[in-house]
Amino acid sequence: MNGGAVNLLEVDDLVKHFPIQEGAVLRRTVGQVRAVDGVSLTLAPGETLGLVGETGCGKSTLARCIAGLHPVTSGKVTFDGQDITNLSRSAMRPFRRDIQVMFQDPYGSLNPRRRVGSIIADPLVIHGVGTAKERRRAVAELMERVGLNPEHYNRFPAEFSGGQRQRIGVARALALKPRLIICDEPVSALDVSIQAQILNLLKDLQDDFGLTYLFIAHDLSVVRHVSDRIAVMYLGRVAELAEADELYDHPRHPYSDALLSATAVADPDVADRRGRVVLTGDVPSPIDPPSGCRFHPRCPRAQEVCSVREPVLEGAAHLTACHFPIGPGEGAPR
């Protein structure tokens, strides 16, 4: 550990392009999918950063690059003061204990033919932690901590509900006592009532273990109550980044405003008062993103310059990449 590091995680101008290749024998690259195209962000110890955007905006690819599951095209990932960009498998191994990923699908991410106790114990086995007896005890404690009955150690995933399966995923992610957990849409596949239980569990665990979360979701309402700050991504770039309440109350980027206006509101009076910004057109392809501001073909505030000049993400605490950001009193009513 580097005690001098202020941020636990720093991502600097990260780019991840996937080549598109043609030809059965002589493969040649004919284009690039620009999944992540110059993203910078930081995470302080104990902080939760929500990362939000529509499907295909690059948020999951970014998460995988940070976790070392994808090599990056360019840019830098620093964890606890150490450069972990494109490390070899063996060099990355010590960091894998500290950086865990929790996936979206509690059904697909658990092997249906294995007992949950051994699934949760996997990280301990892989990293050679403890004896078999110690691992069994550790798994029982983890199951209890995440709200599962340790007596269900020998059951199979199919014997658990969706929410319980996500608790299994949480227990597995916690097994190595990580410092950073990348939660990749951890509640998207769950009913709303179950979502709240898992979100509360993650919050409790954060308080108990001092965890740092990168929390990915496509729905702004999911991340609001768990995030300290929120970054909104659009087509491989960060469009806006601010404290959670500030972003909800005063969104400056038209894309954030549109996402917020589509967010479900529990109070019907508020829902009635609220206007709705309807985005027109499809999300453009990351193979050939629009010139200038990538959001300009769908933006209700776009002007001529928007299709020519790309806006820079700028600001002090509230960063926005927009030539004509929304000012106080503008935007969808809330």
Applying CB under 6 A, among 258, 311, 313, 319 the residue interacting with ligand SF4 is 311
Choice between 205 and 235, CB closer to ligand SF4:
235
Choice between 217 and 293, CB closer to ligand SF4:
293
Instruction: Name the minimum Å distance from CB 292 to ligand SF4.
Output: 7
Choice between 156 and 324, CB closer to ligand SF4:
324
Q: Considering only the stretches 48-56, 115-123, 209-217, 288-296, report the one whose residues sit in contact with ligand SF4 under the rule CB under 6 A.
A: 288-296
Choice between 143 and 238, CB closer to ligand SF4:
238
Applying CB under 6 A, among 295, 313, 319, 331 the residue interacting with ligand SF4 is 295
Which residue in 218, 213, 223, 244 sits closest to 233, CA to CA? 218
With binding defined as CB under 6 A, does residue 299 bind ligand SF4? Answer: yes
With binding defined as CB under 6 A, does residue 301 bind ligand SF4? Answer: yes
Instruction: Name the minimum Å distance from CB 216 to ligand SF4.
Output: 22
Applying CB under 6 A, among 50, 169, 251, 254 the residue interacting with ligand SF4 is 254
Q: What residues line the site for ligand SF4 (CB under 6 A)?
A: 253-254, 293, 295-296, 299, 301-302, 306, 311, 322-324
